[in-house]
Structure 1
Amino acid sequence: MRDRLVVLYRGNRPPATALIERLADTVYATEEELHYLLPGADVLLAWVNITPAIREAWPDDPHKAPRWVHASSAGVDSFLFPALVDDPQVVLTNARGVYEQPTAEYVLGLILSLAKDFPGTWEHQRRREWRPRPSDSITGRTVLVWGTGPIGRAIARLLRAVGMRVSGAGRAPRTDDPDFGTVHGGATLRSALTEADYVVLAAPLTQGTRGMVDAPVLAAMKPGARLINVGRGGLVDEEALVDHLAAGRLAGAALDVFAQEPLPAESPLWNMPGVMISPHTAGETTSEREALVEVFLDNLTRHIEGRPLRNVVDKRRGYVVDGTHPA
């Protein structure tokens, strides 16, 4: 008997629907329809990343809940509600492997844009103004990457390759990490913040990381440093960030994620000097959709054949734990 698969989508369905339908009895649900179509499903493919619809549509009867949920994203905070997390029969997987290198490239682009003030150059071009001016060098600058998972590691490797001095911040302090060298924990984190020219956030959003970049952390950062967030908006106290930017303690920020998305038009972040805003696109590429569905199809084949799934999320921690590197 074939599995019943529900594909949650918004706007466009995933590519390769013919292949998906060949492997499972497939129905497609919008966020509004999910409440009616999810009960009794064996598998849920969430082609929508951040949505309350899954929590709201989750069956009260655990026997009617899907046994496997696949997130077409790296972050899974939208999926970590009690009914799913507490049910040991529900396996959660994600799209680990798709977003690492694109996000690392995006971070390098953001650092170069901030250091070279490309937005200012483009504004002078728009005004037809010829304004030669010096810019910062990134070679030898210090970067603290907060989040030592696969995305943080890809960022660290690329920034090291262009001559930046990189360390990490994570749950398990160490001095011999292959990608970061030193990974700072609670005892040395503040001193690392005082030395970093750039602080890059690449951590998942969990109960332990929510609001981790608060006013005291921002105050501990090196004067003139820049903050880059490609993790989750909930990692940062945005009001405190606005205050520190307005006071001139930080030189700028590049923000791809926000506590509320889309970022409200009235947010002061839109017009603050030295701040770059992007609409949660750090990991997106023109080939993203094909790569995402390839990961799911591989896992769907494994599921049908009874083989172990890839990218199984530790639902208590909120991310994939594979034992390759400490967190």
Structure 2
Amino acid sequence: MPDRLVVLYRGNRPPATALIERLADTVYATEEELPYLLPGADALLAWVTITPAIREAWPDNPDKAPRWVHAASAGVDSFLFPALVEDPGVVLTNARGVYDQPTAEYVLGLILALAKDFPGTWEHQQRREWRPRPSDSITGRTALVWGTGPIGRAVARLLRAAGMLVRGAGRTARAVDPDFGMIHGPTTLPSALAEADYVVLAAPLTQDTRGMVDASVLAAMKPGARLINVGRGGLVDEQALVDHLAAGRLAGAALDVFGQEPLPTRSPLWDMPGVMISPHTAGETTSEREALIEVFLDNLTRHIEGRPLRNVVDKRRGYVVDMTHPA
């Protein structure tokens, strides 16, 4: 049994607390309480993941830092601070696999909503206006999925099933890939952007990917294309996106994540034509909490028994390396 497991929560505690408490000496901490309860803990379950609290509460003495940190999320950018990354004795795991299919479904829904202009239909309904108009078809359209991890692959499979031509973009080019058909690397990325009707961002936020969609990338996109971001807000230069949307180079965007969340009310993105905004909910489902705790409980059992943990993050890269499809 771990000496002590700290569960970081906000609002509601995770499900299955009775089972967690039977397996480990468990204490619960809010973000304010974490600096007092984290030092000396053996493990940390971060039920809250988008927060500076873990970095701020991390013990200065490495001997007092937890040896295992589990993030109840797919993204781990909040955990990639030097003290955690550079300590070889700290293992970081995540909830890889939980969000793949829900996010893929959400992306397909966003593409259909943009192509069929569902927001416009809803506005006309609210005004009781009968306004027939044609809509775009997604069959045969090209989607470039930027990010070839499990979420990107789930997106690619679903978009292909819907009749779209799908390509991937990642660190390593591949001429043949089972999910993407082919994957573009940095050299052929500009030509891939120029051909894509939809560019879907599903990459993790790391030092290498922060700000990767800048003015030059947006300028390389096909005129009239649409950008969808279900990765992290920090992937995109938001001001450059606003400028390209305002200039009419892009037909629109569907954004689920932002550099600052909640998105400030003063952001021009709220009112821009062709832009859909959602509050970081692409992967959320009614069964999300149960799926997240199932992954954690499996790893907690493995931790107690001394077996290898699932979903171990490569802290230098910022994501779990899939040796079947290494990025």
TM-score of the superposed pair, with normalisation by structure 2: 0.99
CA deviations on 1:84-124 (whole Å, 9 max, x unpaired) are 00000000000001000000000000000000000000110
- The alignment covers a number of residue pairs equal to 327
Match of residue 188 from structure 1: 188
In the alignment, the residues of structure 1 paired with residue 89 and residue 322 of structure 2 have an alpha-carbon distance, to the nearest angstrom, of 20
Residue 322 of structure 1: how far off its partner (Å): 2.8
Name the counterpart of 1:87: 87
- Partners of 2:99 and 2:274 in 1: how far apart? 26
Describe the SS at the equivalent of 1:227: strand
**1:54, 1:314 → 2: CA distance?**
18
Q: Which runs of 5 or more structure 1 residues have no equivalent in the other structure?
A: none
Which amino acid is the alignment partner of residue 162 of structure 1?
A
Deviations 1:23-49 (A, max 9, x none): 001000000000000000000000002
* Other-structure match for 1:291: 291
- Any unmatched runs of 5+ in structure 2? none
Is the counterpart of residue 99 in structure 1 residue 99 in structure 2? yes
Residue aligning to 2:248 = 248
Q: Which secondary structure state, in structure 2, belongs to the residue aligned with residue 138 of structure 1?
A: coil
Q: CA separation in 1, counterparts of 2:231 and 2:2?
A: 37
Matched residue SS, 2:182: strand
2: CA distance, partners of 1:159 / 1:204 = 20
Please identify runs of 4+ aligned residues in structure 1 that moved more than 3 A: none
| Separation of aligned partners in 2, 1:263 and 1:249 | 23
Cα distance, 1:326 vs structure 2 = 2.4
Report the residue type matching 1:13 in the other structure: R
Q: SS state of the match for residue 97, structure 1?
A: coil
**Residue by residue, what CA displacement relative to the aligned partner does 1:174-222 show, whole Å, maximum 9, x if unpaired?**
1111110110011110000000000000000000000000000000000
Matches within 5 A, 1:139-178: 139-178=139-178
| 8 A Cα contact 2:38 2:65, kept in partner | yes
1:32 equivalent in structure 2: 32
Residue number in structure 2 paired with 1:42:
42
The answer to whether the Cα contact below 8 Å between 2:2 and 2:43 also exists between their aligned partners in 1 is no
Amino acid at match of 1:299: N
Q: CA deviation at 1:3?
A: 2.8
Evaluate the alpha carbon distance shift between residue 93 and residue 270 of structure 1 in structure 2; reply closer, same or farther with a 3 A threshold. same
Q: For the residues of structure 1 that align with 2:326 and 2:91, how far apart are their CA atoms? A: 22
Partner Cα distance (1:296, 1:187) in 2: 39
**Deviation of 1:65 (Å):** 0.2
- The RMSD of aligned alpha carbons is 0.6
Structure 1 residue identity aligned to 2:110? L
Residue 2 of structure 1: how far off its partner (Å)? 4.1
Give the structure 1 partner of residue 63 of structure 2.
63
1:186, 1:134 → 2: CA distance?
37
1:269-323 Cα offsets, whole Å, 9 max, x none, are 0000000000000000000000000000000000000110000000000000130
